[in-house]
Structure 1
Amino acid sequence: MDLRFLQQTACRAVTVIYSGMGAVLLFAAAGFCVPEAHAGIDYGSDYLRPGEARGGYLSTVSQPSSDKNSSRTKSQTVYRSFQGDSYSLNEHRGRYVNVLVPERFDGGRFFTADHLTELVDRLDELYLLYRDIVSVEPAGHGLLNIAFVPETCGMGCGLLGAKGIEIQSAALNYELIIRELDAGRLEGILVHEMAHNFDVFSPYLHYLPDHAHAWTDFFQYFAAYRYGRYAHNEEAPDDLFRSPVSSAWQTYVTDSAANWSLCVEQGGCEDKGLTANNIWAMPYYRMESLYGAEAMLRSFEFLIDYARRSPVPTTVEEKESLRILSLAHGTQSNIACHMASLKWPVPDDVASELQRLYGASSPLCDDLDRDGFIVASGDCDDTDAARHLTGLELGHNRRDDDCDGLVDETYYAEETEAKDFGGTVQSSLPFEAHG
């Protein structure tokens, strides 16, 4: 049997489903899944730069047609895909998005009329939320087309910083999207791909091989779960913001060998479970945690203003310097010590500019209890030297001794019947004690 046929069969069959934050994220299976007719596109990714797409637009004027299964009117159009293929699809227009669905999946077999109405409404809401955060729209005219097509650059594919999303027209995708709609949510693949569309600062910030996912590691979680839902709730606990970034936080800060150069620039910390993308996103996570959602909005406004009047930075140092200055503008403070606590380089000229603009270092950088940790690096009580990121969790004292967000977690031995071994075994199981 032809090896390429086996590869393509495996590509369509294998998916990885990641459940988190009340949504399901669906990713493409592997990088070897490249249809022979379109081998010029990198199918190891779920996004394309606008110049890499051969389409992504409507190539004919919409033609209204009646729907025998409902009283609504739908429009048919010809859509030219990212791969350059043309498909006849039904349009469902909202205020900001245009959902394009094949006739055979429209009106009952998968999507009902109610499903499509809700899908368009929720995607409109997501678009408005993302636009509210970055204060600018993706490049491109008209509505954001979200087209269901037989083949694209992954199970889902988004244009980077520009309008355009394609979802592979597979039964599994439809089923997952409908399941989430029935639960009152958007399926994660749609949330993720639209986050690529709103990666509008990519020319100014990106330098990693897969930097688009460093952006989504922060942005899609911040948008939906911190800014979107809890922006006006100052008491929202940090555990509402569980992302790949926050899960790597304590490991990175407490590892003496981990730093920006090794983990981000060289990508040399993956054996520790620390990816370059997650660590790059970490300054956003920390500044938002310390200064709130509004600080992130101000930092994006700074980038917009910079883009209007300045050339695109070309070196890694220039891009990181720009990001540090934008975060300082967002927090309205000298964040040099914050970046130092993250083991991040701050060029001398940037440090001088921060000093000029915002004066001395933030009080969050004072180590009041002299335990080697500061609030900026995650010390949860800077008045108690026994409580810090490498502290010993004592248990039964109603305190978070190791600053991991859990109180009095401990271990207990539980006798578990081991039927396969004809006896009992001792197992240590972690649990979190509340109250």
Structure 2
Amino acid sequence: MNLTYTRFRSVRQRLLLWAAGMLVGTFSCQKDEQAPTIAKPTPAVRPKADFSFTVKNPGVLPTTVGFSSSASNAASLQWSFANGTTSLETNPEAVYPAVGTYNVKLVASNQAGKDSITKQVSITLTKPKADFTFTTSNLEVLPVTITTTNTTVGAAVTYRWSFGNSSSTQLNPTTAFTSGGIYTIKLVASNAGGSDSITKQIRISPYPQAYSSFDARLLNLYAWEGANVLLLARNNTLNRATMFKWLKAMDATYAYYKLCTGRDPALNPPTYLNNRTTIADVATTCGAGCGYLGATGIELQNTYFDLTYNAINATNQYDQILFYEFGRNFWFYGGKLAYKTNDPITTGYAVFMRFMAMESAGVNGAAFGPWTFPTFRANVENLINIYLATPSLNWANTLGVGQGVPNSGLGATDLFASFCFRLRRDYGGEPFIRNLWKQAGLRPNAVTTQDAVDNFFLASCAAANKNLTAVFQLWRWPLSASAVTAASNYP
């Protein structure tokens, strides 16, 4: 019995132990599934090299290029710029001093290896933009020296100059011209990018100049060039010093008229050449001298051109004719001051302003008929005294009908000039004259001769800033009631 129980119990124990073992084994498997997993190391990835670049100042030497790496998985970078320089930076710059194609290489590295890429960078040079200025020595004396100032834009440029009488490869050459003429200066600027050229003309007096005369004849003359005036002579052998002296007087005359009127004459293309008004030496014109009213252009008959030149050359005296003709060029007041019949004012303005211009230019006048120039001027100035001393004379039988003072040898235009002289003397001198014609230009257009008389009277009041009613009444000028009322506004 006991043995049987023991054996039985032993088998039972074995079953229990087996079951317990199965449970333990089950629990152990569950515990193993919940345990953390240790990751295996990821193998290293090889880098990939790449980059971009930007030319920062294209067309110019030296040229700066900016590089930007776009490499991936790179631990380090190595640049080679093919210009003798390298870099380890991510976004470096390289400077290229010469034109060419450069093979730029980037090597990207890490522990897994290397990768490289090469790209071509082309460095070009923009062709230059040629330009220059020039200055001259004293144009009045030969030879005339020209000094250039090179203003070409561009790099690595070489130069080739041509002056018509010489050439040069210097940066800023000089050259001399021993005779008058029109010369062409040419500059060719070159570099590896190409060439550019520019030409400019220089005119050295006297130079050939075609001219269309007042009567539409085409003349081949020689130009002597001033600041405002072009003297056109029929020959090129005139004394250089004399011609420039003459030009200076004409330039000063032009400037004086402009100062007094505040205006330039209208530009008449045939008589406005090289940005200057012309005085031309011609065989025939509308008189000894002829000038357009209110516009550019004066002509002198050959005989009078020669007389003017010879007087300046021999005695430094100036005939009055051109100073008078400029008064016609600068006459802008026909609608304001000219009388409707027997008008002495248009010419009287030129007669008077001739004296003012010659005085301003500081020239000595040549004889006028039988009179020396100082005597001629004095006779004109004194006409008003003779007029006032002759009670029978008045505006109506002198200026009003285009007549001067009897037996004076002078006309109505001279009498008007004499009135202007007296206004200048008594009411402000030169500043009065410089204001008078500007004030005349502000007056309304005259419908009648009386309107024109009133306009001159009121312009004189404005220029003097004074009520001149008593003065003009003493002079026996007719004044309208409205003009007298308007003049009362002045002191």
* TM superposition score normalised by structure 2: 0.51
Instruction: Quote the residue 1:277 is aligned against.
Output: 413
Partner of 1:259, secondary structure, is coil
1:71 equivalent to 2:205? Answer no
C-alpha contact (below 8 Å) 2:404/2:413 kept by paired residues: no
**TM superposition shift of 1:70:** 4.8
1:124 corresponds to 2:259:
no
2:436 corresponds in structure 1 to: 299
**Does structure 2 conserve the Cα–Cα contact (< 8 Å) formed by 1:283 and 1:339?**
no
Partner of 1:321: 454
Q: Distance in 2 between matches of 1:351 and 1:285?
A: 22
| The structure with more radius of gyration | 2
**Does the alignment pair 1:332 with 2:465?**
yes
2:236 to 106, 126, 135: 106
- Given the alignment of the two structures, is residue 252 of structure 1 paired with residue 382 of structure 2, yes or no? no
Partner amino acid for 2:280?
A
Check whether the contact 2:278–2:297 (CA below 8 A) recurs between aligned residues. Answer: yes
- Asked if residue 242 in structure 1 is aligned to residue 384 in structure 2, the reply is no
Q: CA deviation at 1:199?
A: 2.0
The answer to whether the 8 A contact 2:260-2:438 is kept is: no
Consecutive unaligned residues in structure 2, runs of 5 or more? 1-162, 166-176, 182-205, 364-373
Name the structure 2 match of 1:9: none
SS at match of 2:281: strand
- 1:299-331 alpha-carbon deviations (Å, 9 max, x no partner): 22212334xxx4x32310111111111000011
Q: How far apart, in 2, do the equivalents of 1:65 and 1:216 lie?
A: 45
Number of the residue aligned with 1:146: 279
8 Å contact kept, 2:278–2:298: yes
SS in 2 for 1:90: strand
Q: CA deviation at 1:216?
A: 2.3
Cα distance, 1:181–1:199 mapped onto 2, change above 3 Å = farther
Deviations 1:351-372 (A, max 9, x none): 01111x114xxxxxxxxxxxxx
Output aligned runs, 1:8-407, within 5 Å.
Answer: 70-73=178-181, 74-102=206-234, 105-107=235-237, 111-140=238-267, 142-170=275-303, 173-207=305-339, 208-209=342-343, 211-225=345-359, 242-267=377-402, 271-273=406-408, 275-291=411-427, 292-306=429-443, 310=444, 312-355=445-488, 357-359=489-491
Contact 2:323 2:357 (C-alpha < 8 Å) held by counterparts: no
Deviations along 1:368-411, one digit per CA (max 9) or x if unpaired, are xxxxxxxxxxxxxxxxxxxxxxxxxxxxxxxxxxxxxxxxxxxx
CA drift of 1:244 comes to: 4.7
Asked whether the 8 Å contact 1:146–1:166 carries over to 2, the reply is yes
Q: Per-residue deviation at 1:278?
A: 2.5
Conserved? CA contact 1:217–1:277, under 8 Å: yes
Is the CA contact 1:217–1:245 (under 8 Å) kept in the aligned structure 2? no
Residue identity matched to 2:396: S
Identity over aligned residues, as a percent?
A: 21
**Which amino acid is 2:355 matched to?**
Y
The whole-number CA distance in structure 1 between the counterparts of 2:389 and 2:256 is 35
Distance of 2:404 and 2:380 partners within structure 1: 14
Q: Give 5+ residue unaligned stretches, structure 1.
A: 1-63, 231-238, 360-435
Q: CA RMSD in A?
A: 2.8
By how many angstroms is 1:200 displaced?
Answer: 2.4
CA deviation string 1:87-138 (max 9, x = no partner):
1111222210111111xx221xxx2223222222221122112222222111
| 1:268 shift after superposition | 5.2
Q: Residue type matched to 1:97 in 2?
A: V
Change (3 A) 1:198 1:65: farther
Please give the secondary structure, in 2, of the residue aligned with 1:257.
Answer: coil
- Say whether the 8 Å CA contact 2:336–2:441 is kept in structure 1: no
Equivalent position SS for 2:309: helix
> 2:278 & 2:255 partners in 1: Cα distance?
15
* Residues 268 and 146 of structure 1: CA distance in aligned 2, closer, same or farther (over 3 Å): closer
1:409-430 deviation per Cα after TM superposition (whole angstroms, max 9, x unaligned): xxxxxxxxxxxxxxxxxxxxxx
Question: Greater RCO between the two (CA within 8 Å, min separation 6)?
Answer: 1
Question: How does the TM-score come out when normalised to structure 1?
Answer: 0.57
